[in-house]
Structure 1
Amino acid sequence: MKAPNCTASTCRCCYYYKVTGRRGGSCEILGVSVRAEWKSCHLAIIQFAADYKNSEKDRELANQQT
């Protein structure tokens, strides 16, 4: 079984995208206004990637302490 292709194909799927208004938002990393449906840039990461990595590190630390 192949792993799913996890990419942020549009701005709305990116971790750095924050909603402002009905159709638009802002990119926190670039500091500019963007539209949700725009194709994402090469800096985009999926929304939950950072949370997943951090929780994995927390589990490793907890296992080491016990």
Structure 2
Amino acid sequence: MKNINFSVSICRHCGHYQPQKGWGGHCQQLGVAVQGKWKACPLSISPFATYAEHLDGVDCGLTHR
């Protein structure tokens, strides 16, 4: 099966982006105010990614069988 890369180019397309009235929005990952038009940071995630995709490369202490 082929992996598909859902890259996020700007903040408002990120799963961590929370729109706010007026100025822009809030990044839930970084805990800061952002504008939706800003270039997305390396922590950005696709809003359509599954939870398992978010954990890619994270050591949860679980062993794979």
Q: What TM-score comes out, normalization by structure 1 length? A: 0.65
Q: Which residue of 2 aligns with 1:24?
A: 24
Alpha-carbon distance between aligned partners in 2 of 1:17 and 1:23, rounded to the nearest angstrom: 13
**Identical residues among aligned pairs (%):** 41
Aligned residues: 52
Q: How far did 1:22 drift?
A: 3.7
**For the aligned residues, what is the CA RMSD?**
2.4
Unaligned stretches of 5+ in structure 2?
A: 54-65
SS of 2:18's partner is strand
Q: Is the 8 A contact 1:18 1:27 kept in 2?
A: yes
Q: Which residue of 2 aligns with 1:43?
A: 43
Unaligned stretches of 5+ in structure 1?
A: 55-66
